[in-house]
Amino acid sequence: MSTSDVATAWAETEAEDLTDDVLVRIDDQSSRGAADHGHHDLENTPDGQVDQVVLSGDDFVNIDGVSSSTKPSNRAQAAPGLIIDIADSVMTRLVDRGVSPRGAGAGFDASSVELHSLIIAAVDEADRVRVRQGQSPLPADVREHVESAVMAEIIGTGPLDPYLSDPDVEEIDVNSAACTWVTWCDGRKIDVGRLWPDDAALTQFQKRLARRMSATGEGRLDTASPTLTLQTRAGDRVVMVLGGESEHGLSPHPRLSIRRYVIRRTGLSGLVERGLMVPAAADFLSAAVRAGCTILISGPPGAGKTTLLTELLGEVDPDERIITVEKHLLELGLEVGGRHRDSVALHTRGANAEGLGEVGTRQLVELTRRLNPDRVVIGELVEDEALDMLDVASMCSRGSLATIHAHTAEAVIHRLAYYVAKAQTSLPEFAVWNLIAHTVDLVVHVDAITPRDSTRGQPLVPVRRVTSVIEIGPVGERGVPTMSDVLVWDAAHDALRAKSPLSSRLIDRIRSHSAANSSPRRRSSGGRSGR
């Protein structure tokens, strides 16, 4: 039986006995979790158990791929100065042939005969120089690597290509030419050492990548604009910061961070298999999403908020119209591979060189009203869009989903109130609290937990867990919304424990939705905001 079938059956038959049955099952399953599943990282799933899709595109061209189970050898990182020099020579020849320096290499791909010929000629010349200097010619295997690395330098991502070829790499953080941290999905984090001869070469690499993206209208990186955030066609997020005195940079060294965009179509059941939560908790959240509850997913950076949000969206009725709003980049991927057939993805846009054309989250959230949404999803609530999100969610027939940075679930409503206050609204405090209480139904908190080896007491690889689920109730005597701990984390036993029952209001809502959806949902003309 699928997760959705289980959720429907649960909502029909067990909602009234949530405390006595479902939450007891949560306790039972949590206590068995370590024995049944072990400590699984959210992104660490054995081969064959996940329908993993790694998107590819023209921006990041993988030339010298490596096995997902290995890291590039020292040979693959050898002689960065030689590779840079040859790449510069080839790009000079491209300019001589009429290729614009702004997009040098952008009009070629790895199959280009012309580009291959130029690279081979440049490597031949480098070999002749070596021989004249009394050195041996490059060995065949080294020469092959140099040719591939030069190709990657021109049309790909240079020394980062081997890591971007590895589907298990999640993040790449370049701190300087001599220090690059690579994080794999199993929690390994390794400094792979020097990838560029010096910071000047790294800066040139940054600018070359930025120019290539600028040719497609994505952005610029120079002294006037020392930071750049962009998204490749593969969906990877790239953030670059100019560094060093010569560039009038914002940091002592040039910096570059890449967050890979990998769609792991696991569903909530896949998150259960990897230890994020127990089956009963997944059933409950699935039922809440289908019932149109407004749910905020909180947690610190890197805890898995977006991953959980993406899988919760998989529980939405396929006939619903979903409008997503994200900052700068599209990470939810509802329009990829037909994941949701009626979805519209919107993202913010920065100002151009003249300081014009900026479109912020708040403007997009306001726009969603006129796009006939059933449900509005905010990739990340940060500041002044909070008021608009609450307003739109209260008007949508199916509520809203969003992520928000917070270190505890309890802190979420206070952060929301703070964001509303920053929006310079004239709403009195009691109106803000009432809006939150009547709009937000649940807060789900995820965090990275570091369990310890029960036999040695040694810390293990951090794992991602749902550590708290809170129901938001009406405004109480203190003038703020009441909060009920439905599920709490028991760190001593690495388990999610039931604490308080759901309100009759939320149980009735879930049961009513289950009954109403025993037949295909019928829409009404006034059932969505913006109508």
Q: Identify the band that residue 259 occupies on the pLDDT scale cut at 50, 70 and 90.
A: confident
Distance CA 310, CA 324 (A): 11
Question: Is the pLDDT assigned to residue 67 strictly greater than 50?
Answer: no
> E-strand spans in 55-213?
169-176, 179-184, 189-191
Span 503-523, mean pLDDT? Answer: 73
Taking all residues of the chain, what is their mean pLDDT, rounded to a whole number?
76
Asked if 171 contacts 182 with a C-beta cutoff of 8 angstroms, the reply is: yes
pLDDT at 258 over 90: yes
> CB–CB of 437/472 below 8 Å?
yes
Provide mean pLDDT across the span 519-526.
39
Nearest CA-CA partner of 42 in 297, 273, 321? 273
Residues 6+ apart with CB under 8 A from 28: none
Torsion angle (degrees, nearest 10) of CA 311, 393, 506, 446? 40
CA pair distance 72, 59, nearest whole angstrom? 21
d(CA 412, CA 405): 8
Task: Write down the pLDDT at residue 12.
Answer: 44
Q: What is the structure's pLDDT at 479? A: 92
SS3 label, residue 282 = helix
Mean pLDDT of 108-127: 74
Task: Lowest mean pLDDT of 14-28, 94-108, 136-150, name the range.
Answer: 14-28
Percent of the chain with pLDDT over 70: 72
More reliable by pLDDT, 118 or 115: 118
- Write the CA distances from 443 to 110, 270, 360, 472, integer angstroms: 47, 21, 25, 8
Q: Is the pLDDT of residue 305 over 80?
A: yes
- The pLDDT value given to residue 375: 94
Domains belonging to the chain, first-starting first, are: 3-50+264-516 (3.40.50.300), 75-259 (3.30.450.90)
Tokens of 514: 């289950």
The candidate with the shortest Cα–Cα distance to 305, out of 412, 461, 419, 163, is: 412
Residue 342, pLDDT > 50, answer: yes
Q: Comparing 322 with 96, which gets the higher pLDDT?
A: 322
Task: Give me the pLDDT at residue 134, please.
Answer: 87
Q: What is the pLDDT of residue 137?
A: 83
Place of tokens 């329009």: 335
Amino acid at 501: P
Q: How far apart are CA 479 and CA 493, in angstroms?
A: 36
Please report the pLDDT score of residue 13 as a whole number.
Answer: 44
Return the pLDDT at 56: 28
Lowest-pLDDT range, 22-31, 89-98, 313-322, 359-368? 22-31
pLDDT at 312 over 90: yes
pLDDT at position 395: 84
Selected residue with higher pLDDT from 445 and 496: 445
Strands (E), 309-416: 322-326, 343-347, 375-381, 400-405
Packing angle of the helix pair 140-155, 80-96 (nearest 10 deg): 60
Task: Report the C-alpha gap between 388 and 400 in whole angstroms.
Answer: 12
What pLDDT is stored for residue 193 in this prediction? 93
Give the model's pLDDT for residue 340. 84
| Separation in Å, CA 210 to CA 64, 95, 103, 491 | 22, 18, 9, 45
Comparing 341 with 265, the larger pLDDT belongs to: 341
What percent of the chain has a predicted confidence (pLDDT) above 90?
Answer: 29
In this prediction, residue 43 carries a pLDDT of 37
d(C-alpha 509, C-alpha 120), whole Å: 68
Tokens, residue 408: 């505890």
Place of tokens 């908020």: 305
| Candidate from 55-69, 288-302, 335-349, 447-461 with smallest mean pLDDT | 55-69
Among the residue ranges 215-224, 359-368, 479-488, the one predicted with the least confidence is 215-224
Per-residue pLDDT reduced to its tens digit, 49-63: 323 322 223 333 333
Q: Cβ-count burial of 221 within 10 angstroms (0-12 exposed, 13-18 middle, 19+ buried)?
A: buried
- When pLDDT is averaged across residues 37-52 and rounded to a whole number, the result is 35
Largest CA distance in the chain: 87
Q: Which residue has the higher pLDDT, 317 or 68?
A: 317
Q: How far is residue 218's CA from residue 210's CA, in Å, rounded to a whole number?
A: 8
